[in-house]
Amino acid sequence: MPKVVYVSALGDQSVVIGQVGESVMAAAVRTGVPGIIGECGGNSSCATCHVWVRDEFRDLVGEPGDLEDDLLDLGVSERRDSSRLSCQITLTDELDGLTVDVPAEQP
Amino acid sequence: MLRTEINELLTQTGPGTPMGQLFRRYWQPVLLAEELPGNDCPPVRVKILSERLLAFRDSDGRYGLIDEFCAHRGASLWFGRNEEGGLRCPYHGWKYDVTGQAIEVPSEPETSNFCANVKLQSYPLVKIGDVLWAYLGDPAKRPPLPEWEFITVPEGQAFTSKRLQECNWLQALEGGIDSSHVSFLHSGSLDNDPLFKGSRGNAYNKGDLKPFFEVVDYEGGLLIGARRNAEEGHYYWRVTPWVLPNFTMVPPRGDHPVHGHFWVPIDDENCWAYSFDYHPTRKLTENEVAAMRAGMGVHSANDASYRPLANKDNDYLMDRDAQRRGETYSGIKGIALQDASLQESMGPIVDRTKERLVATDAGIIKARQKLRKAALALTEDGTEPVGNRSVDQKVRSVAIVLPADQSFIDGIGEAMVARPGVGQTTV
């Protein structure tokens, strides 16, 4: 089962044992990781599960989808090349150890 | 969900703003033709994109749209005398033609050349269909004249009205591309309104409160598809076109005339809703026109200044009993005022940083992003926006039932293309 590391703006780490097939947002909400809200429940419409994916995982995670890309442009506090909505990243065994930074604020 | 600076970018349309520059790349409706009914008729004040202008029609029937204020000492030319080929300021008799050129300054010596050097800002104003259109941008970038189907169908097949809406243009537009609210806010009107009732689509609309949205890029903007359950193995699709920056159409119902809107910024806190109805293949009936004039369908009953009689000062004539009986879902009568009451209630410019969007808002998200990108591309790179080509404007809304396994964009074929003499695709 893939392990996910969420790093807060203050540097605190939350480590979650995820399930293959669930999203990075859902794993965080299920276990109460601070800073990941997931208000719309994973529909790519609220932009409250924004994360920055660490460089070593970016290729594995891939690029944002079309609507997700618009939401990142319009809604999040600081869009970077590594920005993703965590509801749109599905966990696989290959993503074991995935590390993401959580912004200080979600919209 | 929207960042503050993007909300400001999208909602501010005055001179020099990025969205203001984008709007100044398009012909926009600025008056109904009925507002300048004859030669030398009274001039009409026009405020558009935060500019104060004056429209008039001279003795030869030429239309002019000029700066509202006299070049001499700034008096409003609305008080002027429209006579003998020009508009004369009643203060000291300065006279201007439809291009804004001063043609007489009677106090100056006859040998003086003074008036040749006085010219007010002016913009082209042309009548197409029942609407007077203006272009406020760089003359070198002026696009071809508008070709929307509602202004090009034969005489008697179209009707256009306008009404004041007391909020920013974008929150009005966003209502126009959000099919989801129809199943709630307008549900009573689907049964009662003579311009809506009696179509099979209405039952699908009311039977499925959780539409799924699919948004597709299309020529001058977007096609926003809202999918609802129909008979087994089928979906009912309502396809709403939006063309940059402010044109939307409502998917048709039965053989009723097709309708749509232009949402034209007056300033940042007010807009005009230009609302049209037309039928591609037949004249409107007397009953239809009478209903439209009475403010039914997408139209409204207004005072002489085109402000709805039901407005925020009288709580839109809220009728709690009708709400309770289910005759109207919100208690407000008429589709236009049902929308306007809620959009105006958000405040003059809604704070979008606080909104909480859901999956049915996909069309709104895509439209905002397209507007933002078009405004930035124009102002930062000089890239001309889409929306002015014939192919952009020859567009129609569609209502259709398709097999469940077919995507709407495949299923509608050419139905979203306006074709002279070919009827709308409707359920």
B283 pLDDT higher than 90: yes
Q: Is the pLDDT of residue B65 over 90?
A: yes
What domain count does chain B have?
Answer: 2
The answer to whether residue B381 is domain-embedded is: yes
Q: Which residue of A has its CA nearest to B358?
A: A45
Question: B55 with B113, same domain?
Answer: yes
**CA atoms of B342 and B338, how far apart (whole Å):** 7
Question: B346 or A77: whose pLDDT is higher?
Answer: B346
Contacts of B366 in chain A (CB under 8 A): 67, 70
pLDDT at B198 exceeding the cut of 90: no
Q: Give pLDDT, residue A26.
A: 96
Selecting from B2, B356, B362 the residue whose C-beta is nearest the C-beta of A67 gives B362
Q: Are residues B316 and B183 in the same domain?
A: yes
Domains along the sequence of chain A with CATH: 3-101 (3.10.20.30)
B365 found inside a domain? yes
ipTM: 0.85
d(CA A94, CA A92): 5
**pLDDT on residue B179:** 83
Instruction: Write a three-state SS string for chain A.
Output: CCEEEEECCCCCEEEEECCCCCEHHHHHHHHCCCCCCCCCCCCCCCCCCEEEECHHHHHHHCCCCHHHHHHHHHHCCCCCCCEEEHHHCECCHHHCCEEEECCCCCC
Write out pLDDT tens, residues B151-190: 999 999 999 999 999 999 999 999 999 888 988 999 888 8
**Residues B404-413, mean pLDDT to the nearest whole number:** 95
Residues A18-38: tens digit of each pLDDT: 999 999 999 999 999 999 999
Judge if B172 and B278 occupy the same domain.
yes
Q: Is B111's pLDDT higher than 90?
A: no
Length of chain A, please? 107
If you average pLDDT over every residue of chain B, what do you get? 96
Using CB atoms and an 8 Å cut-off, which of residues 350-389 of chain B contact chain A?
Answer: 353, 356-359, 361-362, 365-366, 368-369, 372
Query: Given a cut of 90, is residue B250 above it in pLDDT?
Result: yes
Query: Phi and psi (nearest 5°) for B380?
Result: -95, -35
- B13 in a structural domain: no
| CATH number of B275's domain | 3.90.380.10
Q: Residue B192 — very low, low, confident or very high, per pLDDT cuts 50/70/90?
A: confident
Q: Which of A37, A40, A50, A70 to mutate to test the interface with B (most CBs of B within 10 A)?
A: A70
pTM equals 0.94
How confident is the prediction for chain A on average, in pLDDT?
94
B98 and B180 belong to one structural domain: no
Q: What is the mean pLDDT of residues B291-311?
A: 97
Q: Domain containing B101: what range?
A: 31-134
pLDDT beyond 90 at A106: no
Residue B106 lies in a domain: yes
- Claim to verify: residue B270 and residue B367 sit in the same structural domain: yes
Percent of chain B having pLDDT more than 90?
Answer: 91
**How confident is the model at residue B110, as a pLDDT?**
86
Query: Closest residue of A to B5, CA-based?
Result: A74
In-domain check, residue B124: yes
Residues B198 and B298 in one domain: yes
